[in-house]
Amino acid sequence: MRSTTRTLLAAGLVLGIAAGPAAPPALAAALSPAASARSAHAAPDTSPDTALDPATRAALEAAIADLPTDDATAALVRVGGTDGTWRGCSGVHDLTTNRPADPAARFRAGSVTKVFTAAVALQLAAEGTLDLDRTAHSYLPELIPAAYRKVTVRQLLNHTHGIPAPDFPGDTVEEAYANRFRTYEPEDMVRSATAKKPEFAPGKKQHYLNIGYTIAGLLIERVTGDSYEHQVSSRVLDPLGLRDTYFPGTSPRIRGPHNHGYQVMKLDDGTTGLRDVSVWRATDAWAAGDIISTTADLERFTQALFAGEVVRGPLLKEMFTLPQVADFTSGKRAAYSVGLSMKKLGGREVWGKTGGRWGYNAAIASTRDGSRTLVYSVNSTDAKGQDTNKVALNIMVAAFGQP
């Protein structure tokens, strides 16, 4: 099979509910007062809305009003399901022209990619091509060393494998930016990770990292004899008609219409401010986080997934089953299943996945019965920060309620 060159970097985000970090005062100078005034109210698109309750509509409008701000420069939101629908768009296309944000724009969806990877793995399991209880070592003996010979495919997918993260050059956003065009083979990242000692015995704890999904992508290629990207396209993107969703490969650019992403960092003159980070080689996380999509496509995917149209039969239950272990870092109950995560909001379970790429935060979420779904893209100015972006947090709470 062909050799691929892909970059692997960083971890994704859970459906976290915490206040976003405050941006430095210098940020305000980059935000045009004219742009802020022009986008002070959410602008729903022309799609027909059904009767979403007025309080939720008002909360959603408030959540994305007054962009751009120190936290975000644009936001695109779609709420769906039997409870009613709503579409919102606020902010700017870019901080140079201050044109209104494009509601149909493509964006980097980050770790939402993991849901697509998990769906394909579960389809292969349903077909008998991939065994969730078989070890990764048995499929990739030349790559997975003896120290990790007991790690199963299921443990890769639900983050209970105990494999640490690989090493990457640099620790700061400035160093990441300097290496934004660097590429890595996924096999090299696996070797870097598995050269270290296990964090814990397989199946005993949970630690959310990208490396399990990097290996899962390689497993998909091994058992199918095909590329990971083509398997996702032929099994998910094409059947659902997701024509604006694609894998960028080694291209650092987002193809087609997109709103620019910005990141707070130290600039060349030594000051701290916003840098346009829209052009960035987005293969950093490959099967763990490099997909590009739109809110319309992700809404279609979310609704089809929760309706059992993507993963069919009993294996769909894997996506809604949390392992009965503790989180490796917090000690709290595990929050990740195969592909998804769960958070209780507004008194009900909300399942979904968030993603963060430099300049972009994204999420898909839904109640288990599909009565309410949410997709958003927020052009966050600290998209890979430790805390949830304030605008993204407000959108989630507006759609589903307080935790």
Cβ-contact 166, 185 below 8 angstroms: no
Q: CB-side exposure of 331: number of CA atoms within 13 Å?
A: 0
Cβ-contact 39, 70 below 8 angstroms: no
Orientation of helix 113-126 relative to helix 295-306, angle to 10° = 30
The predicted structure's pLDDT at residue 403:
87
- Please give the structure tokens belonging to residue 303: 């609704």
**Rounded CA gap, 18 and 230, in Å?**
37
Q: pTM (2 decimals)?
A: 0.91
Cβ-contact 71, 20 below 8 angstroms: yes
The predicted structure's pLDDT at residue 20:
37
Cβ-contact 370, 304 below 8 angstroms: no
Residue 36 burial (CB count, 10 A): 17
**Rounded CA gap, 28 and 31, in Å?**
5
Which residue do the tokens 């620790």 mark? 171
Q: What is the 3-state secondary structure (H, E, C) of the chain?
A: CCCCCCCCCCCCCCCCCCCCCCCCHHHHHHCCHHHHHHCCCCCCCCCCCCCCCHHHHHHHHHHCCCCCCCCEEEEEEEEECCCCCEEEEEEECCCCCCCECCCCCEEEEECCHHHHHHHHHHHHHHCCCCCCCCEHHHHCCCCCCHHHCCCEHHHHHCCCCCCCCCCCCCCCHHHHHHCCCCCCCHHHHHHHHHCCCCCCCCCCEECCCCHHHHHHHHHHHHHHCCCHHHHHHHHHHHHHCCCCCECCCCCCCCCCCECCCEEEEECCCCCEEEEECCCCCCCCCHHHCCEEECHHHHHHHHHHHHCCCCCCHHHHHHHHCCCCCEECCCCCECCECCCCEEEEECCEEEEEEEEEECCEEEEEEEECCCCCEEEEEEEECCCCCCCCCHHHHHHHHHHHCCC
**Rounded CA gap, 32 and 384, in Å?**
24
Amino acid identity of 132? Answer: L
The predicted structure's pLDDT at residue 184:
84
Please give the class, per CATH, of domain 25-400. Answer: alpha beta
The predicted structure's pLDDT at residue 35:
46
Cβ-contact 92, 99 below 8 angstroms: yes
The predicted structure's pLDDT at residue 45:
45
Q: Contacts by 122-128 with C-beta closer than 8 Å and gap 24+?
A: 122/311, 122/315, 122/316, 122/318, 122/319, 122/338, 122/339, 123/235, 123/310, 123/311, 124/220, 124/223, 124/224, 125/153, 125/315, 126/311, 126/312, 126/313, 126/315
The CA–CA distances, whole Å, from 167 to 109, 114, 211, 295 equal 23, 21, 11, 33
- For the chain, which residues make up each domain, given as ranges? 25-400
What averages of pLDDT result for each successive group of 10 residues across the chain (403 residues)?
36 34 48 45 48 93 96 98 96 98 98 98 98 98 97 98 93 93 92 98 98 98 98 98 96 96 95 96 86 98 98 96 97 98 96 96 97 98 90 97 91
Which residues have a Cβ under 8 Å from the Cβ of 8 and sit 6 or more positions away?
Answer: 166, 168, 184, 186, 189, 210, 214, 283, 284, 285, 286, 288
**Rounded CA gap, 367 and 15, in Å?**
13
**Rounded CA gap, 283 and 289, in Å?**
8
The predicted structure's pLDDT at residue 19:
33
